[in-house]
A and B are shown apart, each in its own frame.
Chain A
Amino acid sequence: MSDLPTSARAVVIGAGIVGNSISYHLSELGWRDLVLLDKGPFPNPGGSTGHASNFIFPVDHSKEMTALTLDSMRQYQDLDVFTESGGIEVARTEQRMQELHRRMSSAHAWGIDRVSMVTPAEIKQMVPFIDETILLGGFSSPGVGVVDSLRAGTIMRERAVAAGALTISANTEVLGVDVERGRVRRVRTTRGDIETEVVVVACGVWSPAIAQMAGALIPLTPAVHQMIDIGPVPRFASSTRHIEYPIVRDMDTFMYERQDGIGLEIGSYAHRPILHDPEEIPSIEQAALSPTELPFTQADFDKQMEDALELMPEIVGDESVGVKYAINGLLSLTPDGMPLLGETHEVRGLWSCAAVWVKEGPGIAKAVAEWMTHGESEIDLHSSDIARFWDHQKTRAHVRARTSEGFNKTYGIIHPSEQWASNRDVRLPPFHARQRELDAVFFEAAGWERPHWYESNAPLLEEYADRINQREAEWDARWWSPIINAEHLAMRDRAGMVDLSAFTIFDVAGPGALEAVQGVAVRQMDVPVGRVVYTPVLTPGGGFKADLTIMRLDDELFRVVTGGAHGPADRKWFADRLPQDGSAQIADLTSAWTTLGLWGPRARDILGSVTRDDVSHEGFRFGSCRTIEIDTLRVLASRISYVGDLGWELYVPIEQGQKLWDVIAEAGRPHGLAPVGIGVYGTTGRLEKCYRAYGFELESEYNVCEAGMAGPKVKDEDFVGKQAHLRHRDEQPAAIMCTLTVDDHTSASGVKRYMLGREPIQTRDGQPLTDSRGRRSYVTSAGAGPSVGKHLLMAYLPPEQAQVGAELAVEYLNERYPVTVAVAGSTPIFDPDNERIRS
């Protein structure tokens, strides 16, 4: 064991699968003088890796998670620690059967074709000790396997050491992480101090405690996952391999059963959520087994034993098979179930690589190492970026509330639009009281309560009865209302007002402000004061980091407006790239300003009736902004639109928001103004206009040219991703963003079905579409286009298919529906000449 160096390029804390793996990947990317610490011994320091069940099911509805898992599997295979066993997710209920069909489609969307639906009889053949009579079917994934995660970590650690890049130190406890001027300076340990500017927190359930030492918040909670091992199983006595039968996930009981040598391991996510505090985890000395293997609480597992007995009576019911091992294993849970990756907001140089499970560990470690090295990773990590959390979402109480609610969803059937029930009503816009009066149905975004539609608009259903489809299938209609389409049509016909309080708003100000925004935005930012610029923001590799609008309010003052969910990440992206000399500063005004959108053919009439300022087409051009007086309010009005209609975003100090709402609502009454929810703003309005959305169409894995958003020319000034962007402009795009319409919604059983997004696009005969960069075509966004009378899908298609009129198919819940390419590129399907917004 080497002596601890006194300084290091980076210190990785935690030697589980994540810490070992990230040490290795950093060394592969050329990092030297790395130190890997753990307070426990090698190779098993006592964290969650040591008791992990170590199996991997690759298919997830999340594209990001699936990509990370697949990459991890490749790495495990390369390390020769992967044993393919196959796996079957079984269904006991019809709802679960539909969910398994959905998994088939997700598998196809993410490029996993070695999957199939299997009948109970086929399940019985593969898993002879199962009682197939209680099953309706299963989703078979032959690529499922088991890994030796401790071995994998050891190999990777040893490789990094052998490369001369890494010093390792077991039994070294971190006592403190010193921060100076917002940046990591050193790590203090029981074996001495290490000066460093980069620290990676890869300590699993202990991560919040370590981050806290530096004053940063990593919002996860240690939670119990119960598992038992029973044996010896007579049927397994002659097994020559550790696992010879497919792993079974009994999805409806939230359990899994897998062979483990001569034993059968039974794990559960069905019990009550049992959460711990990171500070409460026992020390290695205090723990009877290991700090993350806590005493088993039998009562919580009684029901699960009955369920296991029902599924596998031959083994579980065998009186000679004993419960040999039973633990309450600790694992990490986060408020939204995704990992916590990236540099923390609070402390520069302090990277979180936490809440990562064995199945995705090496892939995540590789991606984070790339991010640390290049500023981006090959796999887009935006759903795992720790910056997705606002401060209130990092509180202990919020984390506990959401993880308690989320724990039993581990094997749950989660609707893509599913809303959380716990800890709601945290961020309330000034319009909230009015919205309640209007029976708004609230969805949550970045902690904000946003009306998704207004029940008070139900009378519009009658008005537009002939243009609105009901959705026949409960799944398609869940978290949805036809009122959304009615609101949409009312806006298109007259006007709608939209609560946009969830916008993230920050100012970039100072002598260096122009330089600051210019260096980040793709579009020219040196525009006259009073102009609004919608611009992509790129990663160094030319992929999408964000899309947002920037108002030039003064020579040295730019106001950036972006979405709520990705706002903190976008703000950090700007903040990290401010001029070194301090000549520009960022001020977050999200909680200072509220925004009300007003759009529709009557928008000018309505606004004109409450302001003396010139809001004529000529007097207030599209793409401009300025302060106007509305009633007794001074309002920053910005004439842009994300729904493709004439109108403005109206910004007022937050405490004056309700007054603005009342004034506009009153003025709009004679014009038939309707309050309109995010269902219109975020889906139907933009889809008809083929407007892209970050996190859906726009990801770092796609570039501006593919998205059809390249401007006529590239500005002279440098900006992040410019070189790559110039290269992309010279290339033939590998895929082109298209809008497709569904030709026939009728399923095999005669029910009209409506895609919700993330489904694979295929040829009419079911062949997958893969572009020259190996990316599958899938639906990035789906929704109604009420004005065009079609269900619309957006998808990147290879150039051969990206032709208007091309006949393709979409796979939804494992059935194919015919679709046709309506638009290739960014021409809107509704109002293609953009006459409305420019009227």
Chain B
Amino acid sequence: MTLVYVEHQDGRPDDASLQAIALVREITGGAPLHALLAGPGAEDAAAGLGAHGVATAHIAEHEALASHAPVALARCIGELIERLSPAAVAAAGSERGNEVLAHAAALGDLPLAANCVAAEAGDPLTVTRIRWGGSLLEDARLHGPVKLLTVAPHTVEAAEVGAGPATLERFTPSLADADLVVRVVETVEQSSEGGVNLADARFVVSCGRGAGSPEGFAPAEELAALLGGAVGCSRAVTIAGWRSHTDQVGQTGTKIAPEVYLACGISGATQHMAGCKGAKRIIAVNVDPEAPIIANADYAVIGDLHEVIPAITAELRKAGAG
């Protein structure tokens, strides 16, 4: 059998976890696929997992799991490994999925392959995982008595396989105080006054060093405001201190998934592209028609961002937008 740690929110499993289930299903063969859920809403979230091929959903019940406690969660996985001897344990390659599985790997001294995009059954397990935020693939053999892996989000399609509802099995993990040292003790909600969240924005306009100065972002701000979108930037811009790191789109910044991403004066280094892979359409504005970003964009405008962005704004105004 195999086990997937499922993250959830508001009583629904996260997409990334469902994607992880889809990949694990591939290597589970005929054996049963189990899931582990914990925290408030776990049962609701488990309800629909059967459709994704989950036979049994284990619900870890412990008051300490009300807030995120990665070591405790890893203990839950450890218990199930002990009890069920799964061939593989997986989670979404989300921040927390990676974190929890790394703890589980550390506790069991097991290898862990993070952010896999494909796996082929066998022992050792053959996996393909991403590096450089997705700019590079690695084929690897995953050894160990239990194969621990996470699945890179948005690289595998989640799919319902039409199976019946999963059996729910509740259990109370035995957690020591030490397992609860690391846990969220306070949550600060971000006020949404600051405008549209970059990660969720349906339209993002970013500028690179070509903006020339912090003031050079004014036209982008105006365009983003007009479309209810957000302004991003490249790493070069944050390093120069022109904008806050929260605006940085990239491998080490924010990963965005807008309907349209307007990337202006950005060359398209792998670091940046890793952050905008999720965009549905990329329009690159660049003076250099050979800039790498053009090979990764859907549309391109060859020109200077200082001229092109205001022209787009003007055109939108003319069309009566905003």
Contacts and interface: CB of A to CB of B under 8 A. Distances in A.
B288 interface: yes
Given A41-B288, A171-B290, 13 more contacts: A40-B288, A40-B290, A41-B287, A41-B290, A41-B291, A42-B287, A43-B287, A170-B289, A171-B288, A171-B289, A284-B290, A285-B290, A285-B292
Nearest to B295: A285
A171 B288 CA distance: 8
A340 to B, nearest CB: 28
A284 B289 CA distance: 12
Interface residues of A, number: 9
Interface string B275-299: 0000000000001111110000000
B292 A41 contact: no
Contacts of B269: 288
Nearest to B269: A288
11 contacts: A40-B290, A41-B288, A41-B289, A41-B291, A42-B287, A43-B287, A171-B288, A171-B289, A171-B290, A284-B290, A285-B290
Contacts of A43: 287
B308 to A, nearest CB: 15
A170 B292 CA distance: 15
Contacts of A285: 290, 292
A93 B287 CA distance: 49
B258 to A, nearest CB: 26
B227 to A, nearest CB: 28
Nearest to B289: A171
A40 B292 CA distance: 12
A46 to B, nearest CB: 9
Nearest to A288: B269
A171 B295 CA distance: 14
A288 B288 CA distance: 15
Contacts of B290: 40-41, 171, 284-285
Nearest to B288: A41
Nearest to A41: B288
Interface in B62-88: none
Contacts of A40: 288, 290
Q: How large is the interface on B (under 10, 10 to 19, 20 to 34, 35 or more residues)?
A: under 10
A494 to B, nearest CB: 73
Contacts of B287: 41-43
A206 to B, nearest CB: 16
Interface string A150-184: 00000000000000000000110000000000000
Contacts of A171: 288-290
Contacts of B292: 285
Interface in B286-317: 287-292
Interface string A169-202: 0110000000000000000000000000000000
A170 B288 CA distance: 9
A2 to B, nearest CB: 14
What 6 A-B pairs come out closest when comparing CB atoms? A41-B288, A171-B290, A171-B289, A285-B292, A41-B287, A41-B290
Nearest to A285: B292
Contacts of B288: 40-41, 171
Contacts of A284: 290
B238 to A, nearest CB: 14
Interface centre among B287, B288, B289, B290 (most CB of A within 10 A): B290
A654 B172 CA distance: 102
Interface in A535-555: none
A40 B290 CA distance: 8
Contacts of B289: 41, 170-171
Interface string A112-134: 00000000000000000000000
A284 B290 CA distance: 9
Interface in A280-319: 284-285, 288
Interface in A36-56: 40-43
B213 to A, nearest CB: 11
A629 to B, nearest CB: 71
Contacts of A288: 269
A40 B291 CA distance: 9
Contacts of A42: 287
Contacts of A170: 289
Nearest to B240: A324
Nearest to A45: B288
A284 B292 CA distance: 9
Nearest to B291: A41
B119 to A, nearest CB: 32
Interface string A258-292: 00000000000000000000000000110010000
Nearest to A43: B287
A42 B291 CA distance: 12
B212 to A, nearest CB: 12
A6 B272 CA distance: 39
A170 B287 CA distance: 11
B215 to A, nearest CB: 15
A171 B292 CA distance: 13
Contacts of B291: 41
Interface centre among A43, A285, A288 (most CB of B within 10 A): A285
A43 B292 CA distance: 17
Interface centre among B288, B289, B292 (most CB of A within 10 A): B288
A284 B291 CA distance: 8
A41 B269 CA distance: 17
Nearest to B287: A41
A330 to B, nearest CB: 19
A288 B289 CA distance: 17
A15 to B, nearest CB: 13
A40 B289 CA distance: 9
A285 B290 CA distance: 8
Nearest to A173: B290
Interface string A672-712: 00000000000000000000000000000000000000000
A40 B288 CA distance: 8
B149 to A, nearest CB: 32
A526 B82 CA distance: 110
A16 to B, nearest CB: 16
B214 to A, nearest CB: 14
A288 B269 CA distance: 8
A579 B94 CA distance: 80
Nearest to A42: B287
Contacts of A41: 287-291
Interface string A30-73: 00000000001111000000000000000000000000000000
A171 B290 CA distance: 7
B85 to A, nearest CB: 48
Nearest to A324: B240
A171 to B, nearest CB: 5
A213 to B, nearest CB: 21
A284 B268 CA distance: 12
A42 B287 CA distance: 8
Nearest to B290: A171
B56 to A, nearest CB: 50
A87 to B, nearest CB: 28
B297 to A, nearest CB: 15
A171 B287 CA distance: 11
A833 B212 CA distance: 75
A488 to B, nearest CB: 64
A43 B210 CA distance: 13
Interface string A130-141: 000000000000
A43 B291 CA distance: 13
Interface string A617-655: 000000000000000000000000000000000000000
A759 to B, nearest CB: 49
A4 to B, nearest CB: 14
A40 B287 CA distance: 11
A292 to B, nearest CB: 15
A329 to B, nearest CB: 18
A41 B288 CA distance: 5
A262 B220 CA distance: 26
Interface string B237-273: 0000000000000000000000000000000010000
A621 B267 CA distance: 77
A41 B300 CA distance: 15
